[in-house]
Amino acid sequence: MAVVLAGGCRVSQMREGTPLVNGTLSIWHQIGRKEGAQAISLRILEFAPGLSPGITNNDCDDALYVLDVPDQATVFIDGSSYPITSGSGIYLKPGETFTVNNAGTQPLRIISSQCPEPELQSKFGPPLTSPLREFKHSPRPPIVGLADRQAVPTADRQYRVLVDEEVGSTQVTQFVGSIPPGRAPDHFHNYEEVLFILRGQGRMWAAETNTSIGPGSCVYLPRGQVHCVENTGSDELRLLGVFYPAGSPGLRYDV
């Protein structure tokens, strides 16, 4: 069950609630305007084996993160195909159609953050696996592998940026952060942020309130909310972060 901390910070688990199901796709909506966010969202997309419906992005930027690929999978963006691996960031422009062919035997999971969250849900239609018109690939591919990004150190952690203006998004920043054991200083940001815990155990602090977090935890942080992530384990705590509007993950204001 979701926990609401000081200032509206919210922590839930990735499969809380009843999913929206369409064909091979199930969607768990964890964070959005209904949960108190101003513009950012967080969804869990799970693709069963087979070819998914076509999912057309509404008027927003959608930053996707491939959580796990059990065997082989291909994504189609407006009909153009791209192989994917676990730990890939994907940028969807407004109006683009996204289709997944899961050629494995186990589900494939993708974390989605739409910014700003559109008033209408994504549109579903037939799979789109070939371009509707002559298509010229962008010099900046819309998919970025975590291993292809340089780690940027800060005073108490490091991060790798996946989705930003380099792959075409001027509105959203998506990154993977690594937090060592211990508790970082309390701080705040001038943007809304969502987190998804990839690895490790810890506690999410919002002012003087806190709750436990672990793999699959979904976190919403309002703009300006004082918070920190505490790593209570003996190894790294790894998290996926997305914030809106775009900026640097290294910029924060200590208190």
Q: Mind listing the pLDDT tens digit for each residue in 139-198?
A: 567 999 999 999 999 878 899 999 999 999 999 999 999 999 999 889 999 999 999 999
Asked if residues 163 and 112 have their Cβ atoms less than 8 Å apart, the reply is no
**Range 230-244 average pLDDT:** 97
Name, of 20-24, 117-121, 141-145, the range with top average pLDDT. 20-24
Q: Measure the CA–CA gap between 53 and 13, rounded to whole angstroms.
A: 25
For residue 180, the Cα-to-chain-centroid distance in whole angstroms is 21
Alpha-carbon gap, residue 237 to 40, rounded angstroms: 23
pLDDT bracket for residue 119 (50, 70, 90): confident
Which of 18, 14, 19, 46 has the alpha carbon at shortest distance from 31? 14
Q: What is the pTM of this model?
A: 0.95
Long-range contacts for 222-225 (Cβ within 8 Å, ≥24 apart)?
222/7, 222/8, 222/9, 222/36, 222/37, 222/38, 222/192, 223/38, 223/189, 223/190, 223/191, 223/192, 224/188, 224/189, 224/190, 225/6, 225/7, 225/8, 225/9, 225/188
pLDDT tens digit sequence for 40-76:
999 999 999 999 999 999 999 999 999 998 888 999 9
CATH number belonging to domain 16-143: 2.60.120.10
- pLDDT given at position 32: 97
Dihedral (Cα; 158, 66, 68, 20), 10-degree rounding: 130
CATH class of 147-248: mainly beta
> The tokens 């799979």 sit on which residue?
127
Which residue intervals of the chain bear CATH 2.60.120.10? 16-143, 147-248
